[in-house]
Structure 1
Amino acid sequence: MADYRNSWKQESNLDPYKAPHGVNLMNNNPKHALAIWAKQYEISRDDIQERKETALRLAIEGIADGSIISLDGVISPLSQKIKAHHGVSLFEMNGNWIETAQYWTCPCCARGKFQISRLGGKGQILAKLVEHHDHMSDALKAAFRKVFIESGTDKPTSTGLALIERMAPAFSAYPSVLICEDCNNADAAAKKVISDTGRKVDWHSFSIGQISQFIIARNHTPHIIDKVKVLEIWNLARPAYVARMNLVYEVAKAAVLHDYWFERYQGETTPVPTLSNGFSRFNGLELVNGEALVHEMARSTFKHKSNYSRWRSGEQSIGDIPPPNFLAIIQSLPGCARMWAALPDQWKCPICERSKYQIVNYKKGKVSFHTHGPTRYSPAWKSTGQICIGCFNVVTALKRELQIDYGVEVNSPFDCITPGEMRSIIRARAHSSHLVDPEMAETLVTKWQPR
């Protein structure tokens, strides 16, 4: 197989990290090891798992030796070039970077992956691509909640939320598109420029065409933002944004489609050209699982360590009192409505003893009601019945800390704590997360730690 690869490299003068004009490099080298291997075998149900593992291994080998360039990773020739340039070997690389071609170019700032790479604050090489999207779905849901609160209606809707979710794309100013993290950060920085002038820009997100006008792109460094240009572009975009937001509110109020705006990309841009999204799934790569590939490549990448003990040491904010028509809102949310209807009016959480009303959560204009049933495989919880989401969140947080920080094997979240232990470490509050006694919780965690 190495002979095939070497002969292909000798016959081609192409830059392996850039797709030249008129040349389609999406097929990689059709003679790479994975393509040859996939051609020889017909996949059957009996051996498909073994074949997929082989395909993943050959894909990784192809990325490493440069014969597969429609994917990337910390072992690719491009990554070696990036390491040499920065003088650093540790990457912070995300899945989108791994699943896109080494010759990928940002459709917003026009930089290639080599130029996008830069050093992070902890001395690691940042290699991240993100999916940039409009926020009309969030705007519609916020308007949906706002109409309930402002109108005070007590009549629930069984189809309103589903309609809102289906209509969200119609109000988007542009379809989702993969861009470099610097361009996505530039969008956030531009919105801060606008908000610093006292103007509200809650749900606006600039398109790649707009972002490209106010950034000054440089290699291996974050973009510079032209603040004057940002305000000029915002002044041009604001009327359409205001019009859309007015329509969003009317749709939330009347559930009637009025109009929409949509920006198509220029040229032949493939918005999200990742393996998981179906890009370059041929010549054997159709057998490679994108998630598995990212997992394998991520073994030697930089990872931020989360604080999994925060549930027992951090301060929990208190929720607000729900609006008078909270029940109409809950009954308009299918999941919450089912959980509410499944319990009698006099029900109380068997652990924290809060009533149905006290379990209703109201934060940042969002009303919710959730319960959870303990698994039947945890003996101590067999006769407990449904518990509130506040108690369940404490259980899952404990399980997560034990598994990730201490390597404790926990089959079910409810195996790591008994109902009595739960009652001893929490103090329940209406419409809010539980307060956790840090000393008693630490004692419980210590009990599980390997000796």
Structure 2
Amino acid sequence: MAIGGGKAIEAVIQIPDIDALADDELDEVAHMRDGRWSTQTKALQERFGTIKVDLNSGWASTWRLWSCPCCRREKSQIARMSPGGVLLCRLEFHHDHIGDLAKRIFRERNPRSEERDTNIQVSRAKDAVMPLVERFEPTLICIDCNLAEGRAKLELASEIDANFTFTPSEIASFITVADNRTHEIDVDRARAAWLSARTEFADRIDFATRMAQRIAGGRHRREVAPGQRLLGPIQDRDIIYRLFTAAVPPGYQHRLGMRIEARSVSNDSAGQSPKPKRKAIVRPPTDSEFAAVEAAQGETKTWVQAGPDWLCPCCNRSKREICRKSNRGRWTARIHRVVDYVPEDVEESLARRCFDATSQIIIGSRQTALICQDCRNVSAELQRRRAGLSEQSLMLDDLRELVGGATPHAQHEIDFERATTIAIANAALIEAITDFYEHRARAFEAIADLKYLMEAMNCSASKARDIIGYEIAKAKGWELHEGDDHAEWLLAEGQRLRAIDEARD
């Protein structure tokens, strides 16, 4: 074949329209993946008698005969029905939280410097130490092994260090496995696994602390090479990609993988309640009683912000319907402000955030919501009942599912065992929230660096951006133009997130 740029392969390139492909055609294109379109998923739906599927990116990114490294079950043995009648096809990334602790230790002892080479060296040293601190590599495991690990830590919350994570082999040691159902756990075996690992766990934290202090003291310095990184031998894939890029239509976005994932995942579990609640018979407040409640709450900021037509976004009750009698026989009604998180949906941001994310869920922004006292009390009561859970353990969608058919003028009837299961399953979401705030901090830090370089160093905006891009590229081992692009994106993210904060205020 003559090499004549993109035209040399133009005749053999046919870029599929992923959205237009039939399921069986997509099955051929992505034959080593698994999604809601696959023959296996359709067979599972038929087997369990449902059309509703909750299938996440972990499941979609693996082949159909994948097996869990903890329980050894294959996908057909892992899939199971939720209480809401949805087929659950979920795999979760399990990572060692001691790594998150080590990163915090490094940040505390090595704050950002005005010397960019120092910042690069600290970042490289931190990344080099992580494999020596973590007890296991990030591992994809089934939803039930992930739930079992969370339940074990919850049962032993008063005994286990909050930063401890059971390894896949340790999880295997305390679970009882059956097909298409959740695991039973042996708390005594889980405790034994913790006690066996406790000394080594403490030693690794000590190692991370000492290394962070050594780096802060100027030891282990390694001179940063100027300019671009060296390129290795040319690879066939580099040539093919170059020819492909030249052959595709102008403006074509290379996002086939993301389009396939969008076709693959499904979230039919959202807002699914297993059964409607039986409504209790209660007396509504009279006009004068409701007027007294409004007068008492009239100066409360959240009550005023809610407005007269407000409905609770979780239970869908009005201001009047959330009024109920307290244990002392007094009418009460309160509205609380909570934070909810919105998944990232911008393709470039999703791709770039994966560099630093610990969770497979990527959060793009946060927003506030006003919910009633009874919905807010679900989270508070869950934390009271089960140590180790937090306010973020239940999202608004979870509350909607738990509340179901809410009764006006009465407290919600909640299945707290189910609430606990949902909260444990949200571990990846809690990690995603932490990732979001770290991303937010990095974006704001980039804006602060830009301002410093422009004001204190008398740099132009473009020159300051180039300096920030250089630092990113050298720390991550990227080409300089890749660092520039990342810096441009990170600064734009800082401006976007700051605008969201200002709008909230």
Of Structure 1 and Structure 2, the greater helix share is in 2
TM-score (ref. length: structure 2):
0.45
TM-score (ref. length: structure 1):
0.50
